[in-house]
Every structure is written in structure tokens, then in C-alpha cells.
């Protein structure tokens, strides 16, 4: 479907708690939609000007008073009035600031539900802001990314997208695509007269320029993904190599169970830590060996899934074991199967053998990969490991203008499709194919870009995006 650019319309009144449920000084309960002022007037008694209802109050005003359920006092509150279209949803809105605490907010919420509101669905306030044209779909997603940001860089990227930097870039692309397509559509209208309104050489230059810009955005996804999701780091190796101990040491907490019994980790454990503004998404995987039971076999299968999706692999070995050289074929195989993934061999338990330097050098020579010695249990060498991890992933962090980074797989796939459509159009132009075929490919590219900002979108995509939001946002 295509989003309507008509004037915003008010939906049925919805209500939700907009702040985290728990004990606190204050909480916010918000309403939006048709009749919210009348609902508020039924339960709110103003301390000043009680004869003037909220329905007659100007927007951007605050009113102190009390909420009543019949004759029973619920709480002393401050009510904020927002009049359409000058509100987040572009509908009439009321925000009630009450005292914090789950019991208080539950009473306020129930009071408003009993007086005509419906409980909002996840992300429904933001969804209405999108449907009413206040923000585009990309900006709506950026709000969700900002809320869920776990690092400063992810937050900054989301803020840039929320203020419309990427939206503006895509809008410029869309306008230029529209211009090129319009000339071809005009030719189709006069096809019987065999008139060429735009030379094919000029059209080729325009398509080439559009391709370059789309390709630049596609290439920015690697950097944007690392900022928003973190560097996917798989900690792998044999059982009892010290993988869980390393995870706990890097996190600074006992997150994983550590045991001398092999096969303790049956499923992967995933946590994040930040070092020098880079977020690493660590995954402690099941030990790589011949599984002795079905559940361990499944854990090892999942370990290989994590290896396949990793940006950085930390292959842990117990350097104190006399048969450590038997791991060289496995290390070499993983290095060969995933050539685009950074691999660091972490030689653990260097405090337990005097032969650690020689054994590490033998592995380095045989596998051609970086080897670093540590003692995870004693936390010896962890500072150097963090520095090495940061250095190895620095080149993944390609330099791009932070205002135009692509961070979402949905956006990336749409841009890849637009890239393919433009390539098809370019080949059709070179082959002097029918105008209608070229116009079709340009229309496809236009639709793919429209999917990102929400000019062209289906209900399933909207549900997928807004279901990730919390209720109240």
C-alpha cells in the first residue's frame, strides 16, 4: 500500500503508561485520539480555573489538579494538553504526570480505560505519527533504535536518522528517479509519434549517478551494522579451553557457568561489552568436539551457526596441553572456510607451562594467524587482548559520514534491490531496448526506495516494525 499524504485523522482514543513500570518519583500516562480531552475532563479536577475544562484549554499548557474515580481520590497530577496537529501523533493528546509506583499508575490507567480509552498496542503512538505524516518510516524505526541503543555510537547514529539525515538523502534520490522516470513515461504517452524526450546518453549518465549513490549507501551498511549491533564475536574452541572463563573476565561478572566438566555449555550465551567506543557482542559457544549426546550435538551445531555469522572469531586453546598441536588442522580449516572473518587464536593458561611461547609460535607459523597468550582465570593479558580485538576490527569500521549510515537489514535489502533495478535499467539502455522496459526498472527502483521511508509499505512490514516498540511509545 502507499501511505496517504492526506490530512491527519484522529483514531479511537488509546492510553498507555509511557514510563517504565516500577517505583519512582514520577510516571507518565499518555492518551491520544478522538475525545481524549472529554475523557480527561470526566476524571480530572483542576486546582485553578475549575470552571474551564481541558477541552477549551490551549495546546502546550500544563494544569495541576486531582484525579478522581467517582468520589475517590486517585492522585494529585499535572496534565499536559497537546492539540492536533501540534502533537507527536498529530492527534489531540493528553499526558498525565502522576506519582511513580506500579499501584498508582495501574489505578490511573484503569481509570482512563473505564472512561472510554483502549489500551495502546506496542508502538501505536509512533505508528499514528507515521500514518499521519509527522515522520516517515525510517525516522520511526530510528526512534526504536535510539531507545534500544546500547552504546554511544549506536545512540548518535539513531539520533541522526531520527532528525531525518538519511531520509533527506533518500528523498533527493527519489526526486531524481522521478524526474528520469517522468521523461520516459512521457515518451510512452507519445509512443505512436516516435518522439524521444530525453537522449539515451543523458539518461545513462543519470542512472550511473544514481547507481553510485545507492552503492555508497549499500556499502555503509557494514559500518552501520557494527555501530548498532556491535562486532559479532564468537568465542570457540574445545571443551575446557576456558571460553566461559574468558567471557566472564571480559564482562567483569559471573555470567557463564564455569566447570572442569567438559560439555558444560550446551547452548550459546550472548552478552555485550564496550571497549574504546566499540561494542563487542560476545558469544560463548558449546565446545567443539564429537558430541556424546543429542543436546550437546545441537549446541555444537549452533556454535557453527555463530561462527558463520561472526565478524571476529576468538579460537581458544589450552596451551598447557601437550597435544595442543592437534588443533592446528581445525584452526586452519576454520580460517579457510571463513576468509572474510577476523580470526585470533587465544592461547589460554600460559601460567601453567613454560613451553607456551614455543607452542604459540608453532601455531602461528602453521596457521598464519595471530596468536595471543593469556590466563583468563588470573586475568593476565586481558588488557592486551582487548587492544588486539579493537585493532583487528578497526578496519571493519569503514569511514562514512555518520549522518547517512544504513543500520537496518530491511533498508539494506531494499537498497540492494534498488541497486539491481538500476543495473538492469542501465543494461537495457545500452542494449537500446524498449522504453517501457527501462521505465519498469526505474519504477521498481523508485518503489524499493519508497519502502524504506514508508511511501510504499504493506501492513505486515508495519506490524514487524512497531511490534518491537514498547507499549506507550
Q: Comparing C-alpha atoms, which of 11, 10, 18 is closest to residue 108?
A: 18
Q: For 84, what's the count of Cα atoms within 13 Å in the CB-facing half-sphere?
A: 22
Question: Out of 98-102, 270-274, 282-286, 323-327, which region has the weakest mean confidence (pLDDT)?
Answer: 282-286
pLDDT at residue 258, rounded to an integer: 45
Beta pairing class for 44-46 and 61-69? antiparallel
Q: What is the per-residue pLDDT across 398-412, written as a single tens digit (0 to 9) for each?
A: 544 445 788 889 999
119/42 Cα distance (integer angstroms): 18
Beta pairing class for 269-275 and 278-284? antiparallel
Task: Kindly tell me if the per-residue pLDDT of 325 is higher than 80.
Answer: yes
Task: Kindly tell me if the per-residue pLDDT of 121 is higher than 60.
Answer: yes
Question: Out of 8-22, 33-47, 240-254, 392-406, which region has the weakest mean confidence (pLDDT)?
Answer: 392-406
Question: Out of 293-302, 350-359, 382-391, which region has the weakest mean confidence (pLDDT)?
Answer: 293-302
Helices (H), 12-67: 36-43
Q: How many residues does the chain have?
A: 473
- H helices then E strands: how many in the chain? 16, 13
Q: What is the per-residue pLDDT across 59-106, written as a single tens digit (0 to 9) for each?
A: 999 999 999 999 999 999 999 999 999 999 999 999 999 999 899 999
Place of cell 534500544: 148
Q: How many CB atoms sit inside 10 A of residue 271's CB?
A: 16
Band of residue 265 on the pLDDT scale cut at 50, 70, 90: very low
Task: Kindly tell me if the per-residue pLDDT of 134 is higher than 80.
Answer: yes
pTM, entire model: 0.74
Q: 86, 110 in Cβ contact below 8 A?
A: no
Q: 91, 32 in Cβ contact below 8 A?
A: yes
pLDDT at residue 399, rounded to an integer: 44
pLDDT at residue 471, rounded to an integer: 82
Interval 304-330 mean pLDDT:
87
Q: 9, 466 in Cβ contact below 8 A?
A: no
In DSSP terms, 14 is beta-bridged to 32, 118
pLDDT at residue 295, rounded to an integer: 52
Highest mean pLDDT among 64-78, 427-441, 447-461: 64-78
Task: Kindly tell me if the per-residue pLDDT of 192 is higher than 80.
Answer: no
Beta pairing class for 278-284 and 231-237? parallel
Band of residue 214 on the pLDDT scale cut at 50, 70, 90: very high
pLDDT at residue 401, rounded to an integer: 45
pLDDT at residue 266, rounded to an integer: 45
Q: 206, 180 in Cβ contact below 8 A?
A: yes
Q: 48, 39 in Cβ contact below 8 A?
A: no
How buried is 388 (Cβ within 10 angstroms: 0-12 exposed, 13-18 middle, 19+ buried)?
A: middle
Highest mean pLDDT among 92-106, 132-146, 180-194, 430-444: 92-106
Highest mean pLDDT among 4-8, 389-393, 464-468: 389-393
Helix (H) or strand (E) holding 284: strand 278-284
Per-residue DSSP letters for 328-343? HHHHHHHHHH-TTSEE
Q: Comparing C-alpha atoms, which of 345, 347, 342, 337 is closest to residue 392?
A: 342
Place of cell 546518453: 201
Phi first, then psi, for residue 66 (nearest 5°) are -130, 145
Amino acid at each position: 500500500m502507499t501511505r496517504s499524504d492526506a490530512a491527519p485523522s484522529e483514531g479511537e482514543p488509546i492510553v498507555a503508561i509511557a514510563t517504565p513500570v516500577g517505583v519512582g518519583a514520577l510516571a507518565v500516562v499518555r492518551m491520544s485520539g478522538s475525545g481524549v480531552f472529554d475523557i480527561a475532563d470526566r476524571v480530572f479536577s483542576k486546582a485553578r480555573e475549575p470552571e474551564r475544562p481541558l477541552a477549551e484549554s490551549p495546546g502546550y499548557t500544563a494544569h495541576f489538579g486531582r484525579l478522581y474515580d467517582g468520589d475517590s481520590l486517585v492522585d494529585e497530577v499535572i496534565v499536559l494538553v497537546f492539540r492536533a496537529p501540534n502533537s507527536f501523533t498529530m492527534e489531540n493528546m493528553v499526558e498525565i504526570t502522576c506519582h511513580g509506583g506500579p499501584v498508582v499508575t495501574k489505578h490511573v490507567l484503569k481509570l482512563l480505560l473505564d472512561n472510554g480509552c483502549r489500551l495502546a498496542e506496542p508502538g501505536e503512538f509512533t505508528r499514528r505519527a507515521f500514518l499521519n505524516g509527522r515522520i516517515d518510516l525510517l525516522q520511526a524505526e530510528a526512534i526504536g533504535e535510539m531507545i534500544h541503543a546500547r552504546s554511544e555510537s549506536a545512540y548518535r547514529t539513531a539520533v541522526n536518522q531520527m532528525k531525518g539525515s538519511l531520509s533527506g538523502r533518500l528523498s533527493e534520490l527519489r526526486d531524481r528517479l522521478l524526474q528520469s522516470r517522468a521523461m520516459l513515461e512521457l515518451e510512452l504517452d507519445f509512443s505512436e509519434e516516435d518522439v524521444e524526450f530525453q537522449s539515451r546518453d543523458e539518461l545513462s549518465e543519470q542512472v550511473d549517478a544514481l547507481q553510485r549513490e545507492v552503492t555508497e549507501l549499500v556499502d555503509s551498511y557494514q559500518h552501520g551494522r557494527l555501530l548498532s549491533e556491535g562486532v559479532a564475536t564468537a568465542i570457540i574452541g574445545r571443551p575446557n579451553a576456558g571460553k566461559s572463563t574468558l567471557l566472564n573476565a571480559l564482562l567483569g561478572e559471573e555470567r557463564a557457568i564455569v566447570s572442569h566438566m567438559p560439555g558444560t555449555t550446551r547452548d550459546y550465551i550472548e552478552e555485550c561489552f564496550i571497549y574504546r567506543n566499540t561494542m563487542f557482542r560476545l558469544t560463548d559457544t558449546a565446545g567443539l568436539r564429537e558430541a556424546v549426546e543429542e543436546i550437546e550435538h545441537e549446541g555444537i551445531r549452533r556454535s557453527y551457526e555463530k561462527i558463520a555469522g561472526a565478524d571476529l572469531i576468538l579460537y581458544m586453546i589450552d596451551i598447557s596441553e601437550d597435544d595442543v598441536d592437534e588443533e592446528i588442522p581445525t584452526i586452519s580449516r576454520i580460517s579457510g572456510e571463513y576468509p572474510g572473518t577476523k580470526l585470533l587464536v587465544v592461547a589460554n593458561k600460559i601460567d601453567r607451562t613454560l613451553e607456551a611461547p614455543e607452542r604459540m609460535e608453532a601455531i602461528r607459523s602453521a596457521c598464519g594467524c595471530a596468536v595471543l597468550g593469556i590466563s583468563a582465570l588470573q586475568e593476565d593479558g586481558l588488557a592486551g587482548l582487548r587492544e588486539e580485538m579493537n585493532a583487528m576490527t578497526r578496519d571493519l569500521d569503514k569511514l562514512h559520514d555518520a549522518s547517512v549510515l544504513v543500520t537496518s537489514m530491511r533498508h539494506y535489502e531494499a537498497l540492494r534491490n534498488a541497486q539491481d533495478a538500476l543495473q538492469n535499467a542501465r543494461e537495457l539502455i545500452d542494449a537500446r531496448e524498449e522504453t517501457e522496459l527501462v521505465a519498469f526498472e526505474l519504477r521498481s527502483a523508485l518503489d524499493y526506495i519508497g519502502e524504506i521511508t514508508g511511501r510504499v509499505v504493506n501492513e505486515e512490514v508495519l506490524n514487524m516494525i512497531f511490534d518491537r516498540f514498547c507499549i506507550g511509545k
